[in-house]
Structure 1
Amino acid sequence: MTDPFSSEGAKAPPKPFTVEEGKRRVRSFVLRQGRFTPAQQRAFDALWPRFGLNYVGEPRDFDATFGRSAKRIMEIGFGNGEAFRFSAELDPDRDHIGIEVHAPGVGRLLNALDADDARNARLYHHDAVEVLENEVADGSLDEIRIYFPDPWHKKRHNKRRLVNPEFAALLVRKLSPDGRLHLATDWADYAEQMWDVLDATAGIVNRAGPRGHVPRPDWRPQTHFESRGQRLGHGVWDLLYDRDGSVAPSSAPAR
């Protein structure tokens, strides 16, 4: 397959293949790409073949991708990649799959993974919903992480929030029978919505009890932005949900 991030005549990598507006799916993101540096462009040119996963819309054999059979962690919307990089280094026995639509963050993480000589990390530059629906087999992920998703804090934009009943049911389908879902947010209103959605989603159980949250786990590093917010009195909520293998997700056929 031709590398979509070839530098021949390109100023920056193309936008990910997202769902067309005509299909009426409301996106949870807009492409505010920000400044795309020459170093990030070089990362796409040189490192995408090593760490990148081109979206093809067909089920992917991740054992073949990583050259081994191991449990897998997927982080959706990894931003600048700080938590993803930390986890890939901390947990080498599990394979890490990251998804991010914003090119500068992808380029930055590509450089970081190369510096770490990471063997257990691969990245998508694409819409997470499409990746999950079409490339990830049901029951194949040990853990899914969503850290600080866009809160879309204006009420008229709340419908764009990533965590909604349809998406939650999709996440549960992708988790293994003993899998785990970990979310974090620093918006109290979004934490409330996450509880509303996830506590009512079949197939997962809140580890801290209904509307409960846990202290920041060791596998999620505290970012500079988070530390500054806490000094200003902002709260941070970590939500952990365990897959309940005795309950089939509502959108999946009973087994």
Structure 2
Amino acid sequence: MKSLLLTTFAALALLVSPAHSAEHAEGMMRVTFKLFNKDSTATCFLLRDGADVFLVTAAHTFEKATGESSILVLREAGEEATWKRQDKTVAIREGDRPLWTKHPHQDLAVMRVVLELPEDATLPIDAVKTDGFPCFGDPVMLLTYPARVEANGAGFPLARQAVVASFPAETMEKHPEFIIDATAWDGDSGGPVFIDAGEGKPQVVGLVTARINHVENIKSERETRKIETPMGLSKALAAPLILETIRLAKNTVDVPASGR
């Protein structure tokens, strides 16, 4: 009986092993980074398409950023399983000319970058969902920097779990947004929404773009106040739009943004 119990506990330990169950999350974490300058803070992730590396984020984060550069918070592995933060300056404009490519109709942008990176700091482009929405009610994860918070001094993002909260009533082409039951904060825009694709690999199914608030207009004799209360819901764009934007960027002659 004692032997049977030990065997059962050992089997359960394997099933709930954090290293096993979170392998796809760690893979996504390694390619997700903070992107900021004095006027804009966001989350981004890096996709690899052949020899090209594309930085993916929400378009409004580039548009709100002033000046010609932003800081990309990379990380470098050290000794004894330690990590060091590596801030890299990347060009986002040349004068007034944006170096990013925006989706024609959606809040999504990509930018080709030239950086010295280990292979596991970029995700292959075939890890992006190629059609439609994630399934209604399915569990998803997101990696972001809520309220600009970093997990630690190395600049890792924070992971959260959610479910797909909206059932699609139209095709992705007509309405490419879906809703997740997580509260987005400033700094979350551009963060990947992803699932476990099996064999410890992530699949990107969307990208965080905005928080959904309940808006109340409170009127009194002397003033009117607008109160916005987070509803615990956020908007995300379906992943195929990322691929559309990368195809558009590849057909555009631009200057890759380099880091220093």
Tell me which interval the TM-score lies in, with the shorter structure as reference length.
under 0.3
TM-score by length of 1: 0.25
Relative contact order higher in (CA < 8 Å, ≥ 6 apart): 2
User: Which of the pair is proportionally richer in helix?
Assistant: 1
User: Which of the pair is proportionally richer in strand?
Assistant: 2
Tell which structure's C-alpha radius of gyration is larger: 2
